Structures are given as structure tokens and as C-alpha cells.
Amino acid sequence: MDFAQTIINWYQKYKRDLPWRHTSDPYVIWLSEIIMQQTRVEQGTPYFDRFAEKYPTVADFASAEEGEILKLWQGLGYYSRGRNMHHTAQMVMEEHGGYFPSDYNSLLKLKGIGEYTAAAISSFSANEARAVVDGNVFRLLARYFGIDIPINSGKGKKVFTELANELIDKEQAGIYNQAAMEFGSLVCRPKKPDCPICPLKAGCTAFRTGLINALPVKIKNQKIRERYFYYIVVIGKNGILMNQRGAKDIWENLYELPLFETSALVDAGSLIAQKNFINSFGSKVHLKSVTGPIKHILSHQKLFATFIEIEYNQEQFVPDKNWKYVKFEDLEKLAQPKIIFQFLENFFILKDRILT
């Protein structure tokens, strides 16, 4: 069985009609590849459409404000991707004269572009014979060839990448790569793969040996860190009190509510009695409402967020340097973590406040 041609034949018949498959423009393909990382196609496609419409060229992207990009990115998570994209667009303007490169080696030099993304862009835009090895391809190859080396180990990445490059159809590199990814996504799925209709099943080791659910093998991720966030909701004459996060932590430069973090879960009464809270809001604080804790899962962190609405004696208020009142009508202009903008949306609906 010709593995590559079988995949390509299937793809030509069953591929999804996705917007970025109608172009060979490396800039547009780059947009789609970065946006779709760690994101389902159904979730990411509307974001791709919005970015492609607002920034039709790399020059448009490069000249945008970072806050504007992060606001458009809001809800996708992994916000460093958006920041890296902005930096990359500016590099393309400065170092490539505004022409987004399409060759693998040049792409690797751009911020936020690794081997996988460089292979995808170069093969899709210029048919360069570089195998794209994403989670879908890892799974497909592990099952078909019966490879039990962990896919997230150094040895595993080397073995699978070498195999993928041996299999690639050099005359149809771009189509083959897209076919392998699509096949893994739609047929050789992580759970309940569609083996009965699979055109590769006759040669599939996992299907023949009953190891479908055992492959691919993956080393367990690092221990999940648990964090306890207490967001303070303060409504004043000038709007709502907000905080801009700093660097070297999650959600860099995004806006949230004033935050107090603890090492363990505590009740709201204990939180407002803590010294650092009193130093900011004083000791005469009235609790108006408490929401949470709400669990929010990140890649290697599990957050428990509690939202505490308060009234306080403003004469005792000593605000953090990053805190400022934001008018209600300006909130939508600020890029916020998903858990924050969802809370605020529900908060104002429940409180029946009119943002005018």
C-alpha cells in the first residue's frame, strides 16, 4: 500500500473547506498556523477570519498596537502567541522588506516559529519537502507503524520526524502534509477513531494488534500547579477598578481586576483581614457579594478564582501603581483574560447595570 498516495486520495475527496486552504500566501498561512495552535478548528476559524480581515498584509499587522492585537486575540488563550506574532511581523518588515519568507530556514529565524510551523508554511506556500509533524501526524504514524516510543521525548520526536520525511511525497509535499494532518483529525482521532472506514486499516499495526487505544505513547506532563486568585470588584464614580498584569507570569500585560493571591483556599472574610489587603483598602470594608471559587484550567496551572465585590472607605485607599479606574464603556477596549471578561459580562447582567 502506498501510504502517502492513499492519504492524498482520501484528502482530495473528504478535506474540509477551510479559508486558509485557498491561498499560497505565506503570511496568511502563518496567521492560520499560529492561531490554530492548541485550538480546535471550530474555535479558531472565526479568529482567523477576524485577523485576516483586520490585518490583510504583514505590514498592517506590524503597524498595529500590541493591545489591539491582544484584544482581538481575547479568548484564544496562550497570549504569548499574539505578542510573538506582532514581533515577527515587525521582523519581516525590517529584515525581509515586508515580504513574508516562504523557505524553511528563513522561517526558523522568526520569533515564535519552530520546526513544525516552518515546515507547514514552507510546504503549503512553496511545496518545500519538509514533513509537518503535529499531534495528528504523531498519532497516525504511531498507530499505523506500531511505534511505542513516547512522542514527547527527544528520541520520539527524532524518530517520528525522520519517518515522516521518508514518507512525504516530494512532488506533492504541501498536499501530503495537509492530508496527513486532516486524516489524523477526522479519521485517526484520539478517541473513537473511525477504523471501519479507514483506507489504511489493512496495513495498520495498531488495528491488527488491538493497540488503537494504547498508541501513541506519551510521557505524563509535569505536575499541575494550583493557584488561588482573589479578584476585588470595586465600582466607583469613575468606573470599575482594573489592574494591568506585569511580565514573567500568565496573561502578560492583560487587564484584570485588582488581585490578591494566596497559597491556599481561604474565605472572603479571612482575605479582607489580611495585612496586604488592609494596606490597600483599609479595615472598614463591606462585603457586597462573593462569587466562586471558579476553576480555570491552563496548560500547567489550575486556577481557583474568587470574585469579591466590596465597598470601602476611599480615604484609606492606597491603590497599587498598576490599578486604575476604567470607564464602563472603555472596558471592551482592554484585552482581558477569558475568566475576567466572562465574569464582568455576567456581573453586569446580574446586577442589571447599564454600561453607558
Query: What Å distances lie between residue 171 and 6, 11, 181, CA to CA?
Result: 15, 16, 18
Backbone φ and ψ for 210, nearest 5 degrees, come out as 75, 30
pLDDT of 134 > 50? The answer is yes
Q: Hey, what's the cell of 259?
A: 488581585
What is the number of residues in the chain? 356
Residue range 68-103, pLDDT digits in tens: 999 999 888 888 888 899 999 999 999 999 999 999
Query: What Å distances lie between residue 84 and 87, 88, 123, 317, 354, CA to CA?
Result: 5, 6, 22, 37, 36
pLDDT of 237 > 90? The answer is no
Q: Please, which pLDDT band fits residue 8 given cuts at 50, 70 and 90?
A: very high
Active-site position among 33, 128, 256, 309: 33
Burial status of residue 91 (CB atoms within 10 A of its CB: 0-12, 13-18, 19 or more): middle
Query: Is position 115 annotated as part of the catalytic site?
Result: no
Q: What pLDDT is recorded for position 300? A: 83
Residue range 167-204, pLDDT digits in tens: 998 999 999 999 999 999 999 999 999 999 999 999 99
Do 234 and 32 form a contact (C-beta atoms < 8 A)? no
Determine the 3-state secondary structure of 12 from DSSP: helix
Alpha carbons 37 and 355: distance in angstroms, whole number:
35
Q: Centre a 10 Å sphere on the Cβ of residue 99 and count the other Cβ atoms it contains.
A: 11
pLDDT of 298 > 90? The answer is no
pLDDT of 356 > 60? The answer is no
Q: Please, which pLDDT band fits residue 313 given cuts at 50, 70 and 90?
A: low
pLDDT of 355 > 50? The answer is no
Residue range 238-277, pLDDT digits in tens: 789 999 988 888 888 899 999 999 989 998 888 988 888 8
- The domains found in the chain, sorted by start residue, are 3-214 (1.10.340.30), 225-350 (3.90.79.10)
Give which of 26, 36, 37 is closest to 61, Cα–Cα. Answer: 26
pTM (two decimals): 0.78
